[in-house]
Amino acid sequence: MEKVPESKKSIGTGGECAMEITPFLQRESPEPLYGQLCDWIRKEIEEGRLLPGMKMPSIRHLMTHLKVSRNTIETAYQQLQSEGYLESIPKRGIWVAEIEKPLLPMSAAEREEYVRPENGNAGERIVDFKYGTVDPHKFPLKHWKKALADAADQMLQYGDNQGEPELRREISNYLLQSRGVRCTPEQIVVTSGTQASVTLICRLLELRGKTAAMEEPGYYRTRSVLKDQGCRIAPVPLEKDGLSVQAVERSGADAVYVTPSHQFPFGMIMSVSKRMRLLKWAYRTGGYIIEDDYDSEFRYQGQPIPSLKSLDEQERVIYLGTFSKSFLPSARLSYLVLPPSLTVRYSRKFAHYHQSASPVIQKAIAGFMQSGEFEKHIRRMRKAYHRKHQALLKSIKQYMGSQADIVGEKSGLHILLKLNNASAFETAEKALQKGVKVHSLSDYWSEPNAEADGYLMLGFGGLSAEDIETGIRSLAACLPHTAR
């Protein structure tokens, strides 16, 4: 007879007797009863009222007690087991699992990938090809917790208004080694995200009422900031090797925002010759180039191309970097490298501003980089994302054949699918019914554009190779005349 581990014996005098639970289920609510039960049990576990080692009521007992169907209880229990909150021991029942507390509570958006497809099985996990997610299983949580603990002495301090000095030193060293960018820590300003960086640049360059050029299509969150800061936006069309420099020259722009190492969202890489032409434009006109190097760590084909900043001889490039893709999105930590003249202007203009990024997080990341763990993490993630990238390309070729072309596959954490005989919007709707969530490009154009309906964006950073294959197989079934 199987022996129950001590950690799996119920708390109290009842031995293996299960606890009684009485969640409040709103039968008139549009949310399914199994979802309400899931949410209630999950919250009780997260907040420490249901402890590891407690035995859950049996399905039969709970359906009688709550007056609900067997399917409601089974679906809720299966979902919570898939999320790791409960575990099943054969012939012994369902138990509260030992879970590690997350750094931050799971948001509604993060839970969204565990919703039930309309025509799928209850509790089935949606495969979400969302851009911007990272691999949660590869995150070095143990080392990060230690770094956070070591940084705890910063809890009572506001921190340096330009960013913690030790973090700026580490970033300076990292950029020199990884991107060939030569800068001093004094040129670096730490911010609470790319949008915060762009906002700061707009105010620093006094762009209100002036023209800012940006790629069309381009990163819509940056476009929103530029609009909010009162800029006139000049959309610049793309060519096979990046934005049109001629169009920049005609625009009369005072600044141009570019993603040269991996254009967002189309993924092309700006050629060296075009980079030099863009720099010459800046030197000739006195304009500034805002270089967003958002995921330069992850390149899968060809030799690395120098950043624009590393080629800049007259200090006209403002370099933007982030830890969101290479490390931890929830840290909300980015940085920019200013030309020396703008560093002086920053010191004058923002002398009385507090730093918006958490000093604790900054201190922790600085320690994480000093220990060598950050470099190890980047190497691990580069290999892991390369494997996922290969799995994605292989699955597309296997299941879609000539029905779709791959765009922008040389680097980064997303690719585009150009659909040859299908609408992206209709395909996305069909895919969702099969448990696959894919995303259109409609937001990336400044004006509605019919071209957007020909493309789907597939982010793969947070998915396993198995999920990628499952998702692409289901997505392929939504395309007309897909080769089998």
Instruction: State phi, psi for 342 to the nearest 5 degrees.
Output: -75, -25
pLDDT tens for residues 439-452?
989 889 988 788 88
- Contact status, residue 468 vs residue 395, Cβ threshold 8 Å: yes
For the four alpha carbons of 423, 428, 430 and 431, in that order, the dihedral sign comes to positive
Which of 88, 73, 83, 64 lies closest to 32 in space, CA to CA? 73
Distance CA 7, CA 99 (A): 13
Superfamily of domain 128-138+376-476: Aspartate Aminotransferase, domain 1 (3.90.1150.10)
Average pLDDT, the chain: 84
Q: Assign 15 a pLDDT band (cuts: 50, 70, 90).
A: very low
308, pLDDT greater than 60:
yes
In this structure, the number of other CB atoms found within 10 A of the CB of residue 402 comes to 11
- Confidence label for 149 from pLDDT (cuts 50, 70 and 90): confident
- 6-99: in CATH 1.10.10.10: yes
CB 231 within 8 A of CB 212: yes
Identify the three-state secondary structure at position 228.
helix
Q: Work out the percent of the chain whose per-residue pLDDT is above 90.
A: 45
Q: What is the spatial distance between Cα 172 and Cα 210, in angstroms, rounded to a whole number?
A: 31
Confidence of residue 104 (pLDDT cuts 50, 70, 90): very low
∠ CA 22-24-29, nearest 5°, is: 150
pLDDT tens, position by position, 248-307:
999 999 999 999 988 999 988 898 899 999 999 999 999 999 999 877 767 776 666 778
Kindly report whether the global pTM for this prediction surpasses the value 0.75.
no
Q: Where are the domains of the chain?
A: 6-99, 128-138+376-476, 153-372
Rounded average pLDDT over 18-34:
81
* pLDDT, tens only, 60-89: 889 888 889 988 898 888 888 867 788 888
Q: In the structure, what pLDDT confidence band is assigned to residue 410 with cuts at 50, 70 and 90? A: confident
Distance of alpha carbon 86 from the chain centroid: 27
One fold for both 6-99 and 153-372?
Answer: no
Q: What is the pLDDT of residue 103?
A: 36
| Of the listed ranges 243-247, 322-326, 328-332, 440-444, the one predicted with least confidence | 328-332
Closest by CA to 339, choosing from 321, 311, 317, is 317
pLDDT tens-digit series, residues 413-429: 899 999 998 999 999 99
pLDDT average, residue stretch 205-214: 96
Q: Is 216 helix (H, G, I), strand (E, B) or coil?
A: strand
Beta bridge partners of 236: 215
Task: Band the pLDDT of 118: cuts 50, 70, 90.
Answer: very low
Domain 153-372 bears CATH identifier 3.40.1360.10? no
